[in-house]
Amino acid sequence: MEKTIRLSDLGEGLNEAQLIEWHVNKNDVVAEGDLVASIETAKSIVEFPSPFSGKVTQLFSSIGELITVGAPLFNIQLNNTVSTLEQPLVGKEINESIEIPAETLINEINSTSIPTMALNMSEGKNTVPATIFDFLPVDNLPSQRILFEICHRVAKSLLKFPKLNGFYIPKTNEIKKNNSINMGIAMDTDHLGLFVPVITNPHLLSYDDFRNILDDLKTNRVKSKFFNADLTPTFTLSNIGSIGGLWGTPVLIPPSVGILAIGRQTIQPVWRNNAFEPQTAIPISFTFDHRCISGKTGCQFLNNLKNES
């Protein structure tokens, strides 16, 4: 007997999810409870086990494709045994089209991607964001070290402005400060969209260590040995310069209160010694939650960042 396994109700008002990985191929034999697919919602990554033992005869979706609730995921040719995950009541007929029940979803992982990150972006717009702009001088700094140096400078500045390294709690109108600096690094990955892993205390890392961690996270994503699903960014960097951007108004991802967009290098005229001189600088755009961070604090933070070494 062949059954169609469908995407069940995801709860929390979610009506679609993005397929990020198949763990089986067509004609693979699986046992009940074996992992079949990983999908990503606006809230988390969830893993789907097979509710039956049998042979996978068809996979309906491609990696990166959006799947709506009720759409078929895969077909399975059943063995003769009856699944304990889908054991019917006495006298109840088994529907040929089976939904994976919500209670079988396991291993939730904090992550954001496009387009499933849209809900988080909407939540960010529901804050009271303000964005200020400046230039960060980077004379005599090799281009391959810029992200590393900015991470260092931002982390050191956050130590001096601890309110920016925490989470805003609207119900109590207070900021929960964090002891460590959990720096979110927004990066674009092949067909899986935006990925925001966390690097803890980047100012304590050497350049080689930082580069190795970043490369491994970008290559292996949630499978990276450096990925920690339990960490939420206390502050985020978005390198829009890598795609040619200069300025932006980066959107906060609650509950964090700050995010910095880094633009591409430019040459700016600077008045020194009664003459204009060229200076290599990076446009920076700093968005913060104005409910708990004042404009004065935001400007002071950027000024400190510019002078940090």
Comparing 226 with 263, which gets the higher pLDDT? Answer: 263
If you search the block for the tokens 């810029």, which residue do you land on? 146
Q: Is 290 a catalytic residue?
A: yes
Long-range CB pairs of 291-297 (<8 Å, 24+ gap) are 291/127, 291/128, 291/168, 291/170, 291/173, 292/163, 292/168, 292/173, 292/174, 292/175, 292/257, 293/163, 293/164, 293/257, 293/258, 295/130, 295/132, 297/161, 297/163, 297/164
Among residues 54, 83, 109, which one ends one of the domains?
109
Q: Are residues 175 and 294 in the same domain?
A: yes
Range of the domain at 131: 118-307
Q: Are residues 182 and 295 in the same domain?
A: yes
**Range from 100-109, 162-171, 205-214 carrying the lowest mean pLDDT:** 100-109
Among residues 109, 132, 149, which one ends one of the domains?
109
Q: Are residues 22 and 140 in the same domain?
A: no
Q: Are residues 137 and 257 in the same domain?
A: yes
Q: Are residues 99 and 146 in the same domain?
A: no
The catalytic position among 23, 152, 203, 290 is 290
Q: Are residues 156 and 255 in the same domain?
A: yes
If you search the block for the tokens 């633009």, which residue do you land on? 263
pLDDT value of position 45: 67
Q: Are residues 54 and 163 in the same domain?
A: no
Helices (H), the chain: 118-125, 146-160, 207-220, 295-307
State the CATH number of the domain containing residue 145: 3.30.559.10
Q: Are residues 123 and 105 in the same domain?
A: no
Confidence of residue 171 (pLDDT cuts 50, 70, 90): confident
Q: Are residues 85 and 143 in the same domain?
A: no
Q: Are residues 194 and 302 in the same domain?
A: yes
Among residues 78, 109, 140, which one ends one of the domains?
109
% of the chain residues with pLDDT over 90 = 35
State the CATH number of the domain containing residue 13: 2.40.50.100
Could you give the angle at which helices 207-220 and 146-160 cross, rounded to 10 degrees? Answer: 100
Q: Are residues 142 and 91 in the same domain?
A: no
Number of domains in the chain: 2
Mean pLDDT of 77-105: 47
Confidence of residue 189 (pLDDT cuts 50, 70, 90): low
Read off the pLDDT of residues 214-230 as tens digits, 9 standing for 90 and up.
888 887 777 788 887 77
pLDDT value of position 92: 36
Question: Which of 35, 16, 200 shows the shortest CA–CA distance to 105?
Answer: 35
Q: Are residues 8 and 63 in the same domain?
A: yes
Does 83 have pLDDT greater than 50? no
Question: Which of 219, 192, 213 shows the shortest CA–CA distance to 147?
Answer: 213
Distance CA 253, CA 238 (A): 12
